[in-house]
């Protein structure tokens, strides 16, 4: 997809008193190696860890988002080992080092472990993201899902000085041919305040995306089922409220809501290799409800960088998502039910619903009497309830499934020869229980009752 983007007013700061920009300053080249990557769950700098790590700073991220329109597009453009994006609402087929990445916000995974809807790349507007941390390769730092690596989106930091500050973004974009239906735009704003130990930030963003065109001036084909970022509108709200308990400890409440919904103005026109014609989009009204992704999340965190000589991080979080998948012009064979309509005529579409509660706890410090050894211990807990429904007929496609996980872990990092050599390792024991208790009644099969429970143990 080719498009031009013009930022009319970006990162414009105003102040009633002297106040800095909201986001943390981008590290200089000299200090880049010493940046602390929060997704690694340690305060040791990146150059002290046996991991391949990249950090996309705010300036670079903003430039790429202005071109591509999303964090996924920015990561793909800047990371050779991240596959080219499909520029669809679903990230199916997009990989990091050939495997699925784990998307997180402030270290909190966005993926539904039971039923991966591949929508976890669109859970927050990029305007509220300060930087993106990339950890390459399979690891168990954040638990299940990080087979290809971790893409951690760190939200904007609280203001550092008392007073009121903020920034505004007004942006317009169009395809290179300046077609009328290819024009889009975005407006966003963020206001921050700090007074003594208290601070608060609230913001909102709205974006309209036009149709995408290829280099030949033809519309890009529409994927009705998985959903589109083209021909869509998105809304996002963000809030962060904090209180400094001491010079080293603070508590934060972060909340966000993001929704991206297709406009439903196009249907696909299939191409054929016989005449070298690619699939394109034509004006039309798709059946059912347009594909939509909606995520609401809240996280309460407590941090103390000097608790008994160590660093404490504790988080409680809630995440609720509702992902609607579009329907096709030709009825999908999997959804047919002769008791409702003749086979081959029944239209339906699915909606994946997930609700997650969880907590993350870690404590890190140098081992008393052995300062060269830094140890981390922690515990992760997650409860997830997911089901997938056929919303046109009110049927259950994937029954409500209960997922419970408890995972203690430990890490150690030993510095030798004046920190020129390091030996690092860790262990994680994840205890997972999955249970299903539901009655299914589909005419194509006998009524049956299923009650299942399984336990999975894994050590890394």
Where exactly are the structural domains of the chain? 3-459
**DSSP at 77:** H
In sequence order, which residues have a C-beta less than 8 Å from that of residue 303 and are 6 or more positions away? 249, 250, 252, 311, 312, 313, 314
What is the helix (H) or strand (E) element at residue 413, kind and residue range? strand 395-416
Phi, psi of 391 (to 5 degrees): -80, -20
Owner of token pair 């394109």? 280
Which regions of the chain are under pLDDT 50? 2, 6-32, 444-460
164 vs 175: CA distance, rounded Å: 37
Q: Please say whether the structural domain 3-459 has been given the CATH code 3.75.10.10.
A: no
Checking 23-32 for CB contacts under 8 A at 24+ apart, the result is 23/58, 23/130, 23/131, 23/156, 23/157, 24/58, 24/130, 24/131, 24/157, 26/57, 26/58, 26/59, 27/55, 27/57
The predicted structure's pLDDT at residue 226:
87
Residue 358's φ and ψ, nearest 5 degrees, are -170, 175
Burial pattern 59-86, b for ≥16 Cβ within 10 A else e, equals: eebbebbbebbbbbbbbbbbbeebbebb
pLDDT tens per residue, range 437-449 = 665 555 544 333 4
CA-CA distance, 316 to 201, in Å (whole number)? Answer: 20
Confidence (pLDDT) at 445:
41
Main-chain dihedrals φ then ψ at residue 16, nearest 5 degrees = -90, -20
C-beta separation of 311 from 365 below 8 A: yes
Task: Return d(Cα 55, Cα 36) in angstroms, integer.
Answer: 10
pLDDT of residue 316: 98
CA distance 30 to 346: 62
Q: What residues have CB less than 8 Å from 425, skipping those under 6 apart?
A: 411, 412
């Amino acid at each position: 997809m080719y498009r031009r983007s013009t930022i009319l007013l970006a990162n414009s700061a105003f102040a009633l008193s002297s106040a800095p920009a909201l986001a943390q300053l981008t590290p200089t080249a000299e200090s880049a190696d010493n940046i602390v990557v929060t997704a690694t769950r340690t305060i040791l700098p990146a150059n002290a860890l046996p991991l391949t790590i990249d950090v996309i700073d705010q300036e670079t991220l903003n430039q790429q988002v202005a071109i591509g329109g999303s964090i996924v597009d920015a990561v793909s453009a800047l990371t050779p080992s991240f596959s080219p994006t499909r520029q669809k609402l679903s990230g199916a087929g997009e990989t990091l080092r050939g495997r699925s990445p784990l998307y997180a916000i402030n270290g909190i995974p966005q993926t539904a472990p039971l039923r991966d809807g591949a929508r976890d790349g669109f859970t927050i507007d990029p305007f509220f993201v300060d930087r993106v941390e990339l950890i390459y390769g399979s690891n168990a730092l954040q638990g299940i899902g990080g087979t290809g690596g971790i893409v951690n989106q760190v939200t904007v930091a609280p203001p550092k000085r008392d007073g009121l500050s903020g920034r505004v973004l007004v942006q317009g974009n169009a395809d290179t041919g300046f077609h009328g239906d290819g024009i889009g735009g975005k407006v966003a704003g963020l206001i921050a305040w700090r007074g003594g130990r208290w601070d608060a930030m609230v913001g909102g963003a709205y974006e309209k995306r036009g149709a995408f065109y290829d280099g030949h001036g033809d519309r890009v084909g529409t994927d009705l089922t998985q959903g589109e970022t083209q021909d869509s509108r998105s809304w996002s709200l963000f809030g962060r409220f904090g209180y400094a308990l001491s010079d080293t400890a603070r508590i934060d409440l972060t909340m966000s809501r993001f929704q991206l919904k297709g406009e439903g103005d196009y249907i696909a026109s299939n191409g054929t290799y016989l005449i070298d014609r690619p699939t394109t989009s034509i004006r039309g009204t798709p059946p059912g409800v347009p594909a939509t992704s909606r995520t609401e999340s809240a996280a309460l965190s407590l941090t103390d960088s000097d608790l008994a000589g160590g660093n404490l991080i504790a988080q409680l979080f809630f995440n609720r998502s509702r992902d609607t998948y579009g329907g096709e012009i030709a009825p999908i064979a999997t959804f047919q039910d002769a008791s409702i309509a003749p086979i081959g005529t029944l239209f339906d579409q699915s909606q994946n619903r997930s609700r997650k509660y969880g907590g993350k706890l870690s404590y890190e410090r140098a081992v008393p009497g052995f300062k060269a050894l830094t140890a981390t211990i922690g515990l992760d807990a997650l409860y997830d309830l997911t089901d997938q429904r056929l919303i046109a007929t009110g049927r259950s496609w994937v029954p409500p499934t209960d997922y419970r996980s408890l995972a203690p872990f430990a890490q150690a990092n030993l510095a030798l020869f004046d920190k020129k050599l390091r030996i690092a390792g860790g262990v994680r024991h994840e205890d997972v229980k999955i249970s299903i208790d539901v009655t299914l009644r589909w005419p194509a099969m006998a009524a049956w009752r299923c009650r299942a429970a399984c336990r999975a143990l894994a050590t890394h």
